[in-house]
Structure 1
Amino acid sequence: MNDAMTREDAMAGAFEPDVAVRAREFRIGCIGAGMIMAECHLAAYKEAGFPVVAIASRTRANAEKVAQRWDIPTVHETPEQLIEDKNIEIVDLAFPPDQQPALIRHALKQSHIKAILAQKPLALSLKDAIELRDEAARAGKILSVNQNMRYDQSMRVLKQVIDSGALGDIVFAQIDMHAIPHWQSFLAGYDRLTLSNMSVHHLDALRFLFGDPDEITTLARKDPRTAFDHHDGITVSTLRFPSGVMAVSLEDVWSGPRREGYRDDQHIDWRVEGTAGVAKGTIGWPTGAASTLSYASARTTGGEWVSPKWETMWFPHAFIGVMEQLQYALKSGTSPALSVADNVKTMALIEAGYRSIDQRRAVKLSEISID
């Protein structure tokens, strides 16, 4: 991919929507047996040939069911016992963010553990995330965070289109979500909801596409369609980047009336506009379909719309990329693409968003210390 990409290249689909697997030799122990582990992590690892050697969860019976489904040889009584299993080299966590830091710290103490893959948000506060970053560095172990939307096929191809110069200088971007996630029941006990647990996907994706923003303005309201009290139900964030790009991220996570017989239109759409072209697409997860991308460029497609195709999906195939980048980092001795140091910057952006909600103003990222 480069500035010289021709229309023929674009029409032929000269893109890489999914990663090539460069490493698969490190033994994985999985903690958690819920939807995200059973339907995404383990499905992806099976397809990629990543060796999963053990599993544990809060309930052994659930772990046993998942182990039987995915042919995992060992089931441990507790997450802590799994972490202490000397046969395990990578700990893969799918646990609530209030419980995740303690398990990360336990793993950092084990000499046989080489790396940890944590869920996002990494912790409930930026302070905790910074401490985990620094503790991992002192322990000399890799801590990576599962920002899997970077490996959604439409996001990867969009990044390749942008980097090729086909859209020119980027002017404006938006992500528009009206979809109901698989909200976990534990979220009802947190004072922070949508920005921390769903916007984290989109804000991190915008950082992946455009770099670190200068400032964020976030508005939020409580959503009367929820079954529990919360601080931020619907959120709208506007970001400004040093390049001049302005981006908007909207999350409406109780979209439409939630009642039997009501035919809603759940969707996640995105759009990026540049001086030489436009790209638009969908994230297919809410409807169980592949994500999509179409773009038109005055430079490379003659102004015609081009729609690259792929058969893979965000869930579960993006999770191949997430574990692959960690395996490759161990094999090559390089920093993972999804490093904890980079993720702390996403956590700082979320923290700035909450400050913006509370203080009703634009917040510069320079106000949020991550040292």
Structure 2
Amino acid sequence: MTESFDPGALRQWWPKPSKPRPIVIFGAGSIVGDAHLPAYRKAGFPVAGIYDPDHAKAAALANEWEIRAFEDEAAAFLVPDAIFDLATPPAAHAAILGRLPIGAAALIQKPMGSDLDAATAILEICRTRQLKAAVNFQLRFAPMMLALKDAIAKGHLGEVVDFDAWLALATPWGFWPFLKGLPRIEIAMHSIHYLDLIRGLLGNPQGVHAKTIGHPNHDVAQTRTAAILDYGDRVRCVLSVNHDHDFGRKFQACEFRISGTSGAAYVKLGVNLDYPKGEPDELWIKPAGGSDWVAVPLEGAWFPDAFVNRMANLQRFAAGEDNELIGSVEDAWQTMALVEAAYQSSAAPATAIAPLPGQ
């Protein structure tokens, strides 16, 4: 039964742990300074320190945030009751996880390895070492997305039958130098967030049709993707992603349109527009039985607030305060399987168009 629509009553925050554990961060890249550290400071989560093989880089970031830079990896592992936050490139995940204390709690930067084989290896490490591990698919935890899921759960859209993702923007790939030379970029490093979010809302699709390509103006492996997720004859789910729409802000977009049988939602993902400065996120809902669109007053943004909520769930699960670890490695592996299927679809030959008869 549909509840009376109150946009201010939609859930936007995850409950905080009663006794936050110290966080040990591996990696000192831009995402740590732009999102992880601002989020943890905002939430009041203690950060025990940062380790990076480039100690000078870690020390500079640690000095900026007035925290410790570990001299070596061994010192980072010795922090008692730590939550280990792996803000590292995918190729580095397995080695670090394999040295974490048995039973430790860990947050793994997406993707969960460079491909499905690597994700499977990571899954086995986490199982063997009994790690309470989740992958940092934090878009599920953005205030706008928590509110969207709550609105769907309360029946304000009816049955969701349509999901459109449309991106036409200019992404500064140079911010992430470790991407240079990697064979998989757009789906594996960016649209993976959207695929994971869609799985969280609609469940696993039956399959995927996809094509992902680069652009003649640069050497990044892929920056443009078109994909259809197959949910049978009831749900249409389409992604159109173009990171090379570099012609000024006027007609750029980063938005989702979600339609139900009796209501709809519009989401603007502001951080991707003029990244990393970004623009405000937006969530609008046309509720079942409502006469007009209603703007949901958002209390936070994808960056950094999704990182607060993501870490809160892991902290609470590690302490026994949450029964479910959202985005666990078991669940995240399924997102990686969807990514792998998308790349296989892209590599497969297209169905040829029949020639004109007589030619």
Same fold by TM-score greater than 0.5: yes
Pairwise mapping of residues 191-206 of structure 1 onto structure 2 (< 5 A)? 191-206=183-198
Residues 28 and 185 of structure 1: CA distance in aligned 2, closer, same or farther (over 3 Å): same
Q: Which residue of 2 aligns with 1:367?
A: none
Who is 1:163 aligned against?
153
User: 1:254-301, CA deviations, whole angstroms, 9 ceiling, x for partnerless residues?
Assistant: 3225xxxx55654311101111011112011134233111111333x2
Matched with 1:285 is: 271
Output the amino acid matched with 1:220: T
Q: Which residue of 2 aligns with 1:186?
A: 178
Structure 1 unaligned residues grouped into runs of 5+: 363-371
Contact 2:83 2:106 in 1 (8 A): yes
SS of the aligned residue for 2:179 comes to helix
Map residues 88-99 of structure 1 onto 2, 5 A cutoff. Answer: 89-99=82-92
1:76 and 2:80 correspond:
no
Residue 329 of structure 1, aligned match among 317, 328, 333: 317
Return 263-272 or 118-127, whichever deviates more.
Answer: 263-272
Residues 1:83 and 1:240: Cα distance change in structure 2 (over 3 Å): same
1:233 CA displacement: 2.5
Cα gap change, 1:119/1:243 in structure 2, threshold over 3 Å: closer, same or farther?
Answer: farther
1:338-353 paired onto structure 2 within 5 Å: 338-353=327-342
Residue 136 of structure 1 contacts residue 142 of structure 1 at CA under 8 Å; is this kept in 2?
A: yes
Q: Is the 8 A contact 2:270 2:282 kept in 1?
A: yes
The residue that corresponds to 1:212 in the other structure is: 204
Q: Which residue of 1 aligns with 2:355?
A: none
C-alpha deviation, 1:88, in angstroms: 5.5
Answer whether contact 1:266 1:286 (CA < 8 A) is retained: no
Q: Is the 8 A contact 1:133 1:341 kept in 2?
A: yes
The residue aligned with 2:61 is 66
Cα–Cα, structure 1 residues 270 and 134, in superposed 2: closer, same or farther, change >3 Å? same
Q: How far apart are the structure 2 equivalents of 1:51 and 1:314?
A: 21
The 5 A counterparts of 1:1-371 are: 3-7=1-5, 9-10=6-7, 13-72=8-67, 74-78=68-72, 80-87=73-80, 89-107=82-100, 110-111=101-102, 114-183=104-173, 184-226=176-218, 228=219, 230=221, 232-241=222-231, 244-257=234-247, 265-287=251-273, 288-299=278-289, 301=290, 303-332=291-320, 334-360=323-349
CA contact (8 A) 2:70 2:76 kept: no
Q: Cα gap change, 1:141/1:314 in structure 2, threshold over 3 Å: closer, same or farther?
A: same
1:36–1:182 distance in 2 versus 1, CA, 3 Å: farther
| TM-score computed with the length of structure 1 as normaliser | 0.87
| Distance in 2 separating the partners of 1:233 and 1:182 | 11
Could you tell me how far apart the structure 2 residues matched to 1:355 and 1:116 are? 30
State the TM-score, normalized to the length of structure 2. Answer: 0.90
Counterpart secondary structure, 2:319 = helix
Q: CA RMSD in A?
A: 2.0
> Any conservation in 1 of the 2:113–2:119 contact (CA below 8 Å)?
yes
Identity %: 29
Tell me the CA shift for residue 216 of structure 1.
0.5
Instruction: Provide the rounded CA distance (Å) in 2 between the counterparts of 1:23 and 1:337.
Output: 18
In structure 1, what is the Cα distance between the partners aligned to 2:328 and 2:134? Answer: 5
**One-letter amino acid of the counterpart of residue 208, structure 2:** I
**Compared with structure 1, are the counterparts of its residues 243 and 132 closer, same or farther at alpha carbon in structure 2 (3 Å cutoff)?**
farther
Offset at 1:43? 0.6
Q: How far is 1:186 from its partner?
A: 1.5
CA distance in 2: counterparts of 1:18 and 1:267, whole angstroms? 26
Residue of structure 2 in register with 1:368 after alignment: none
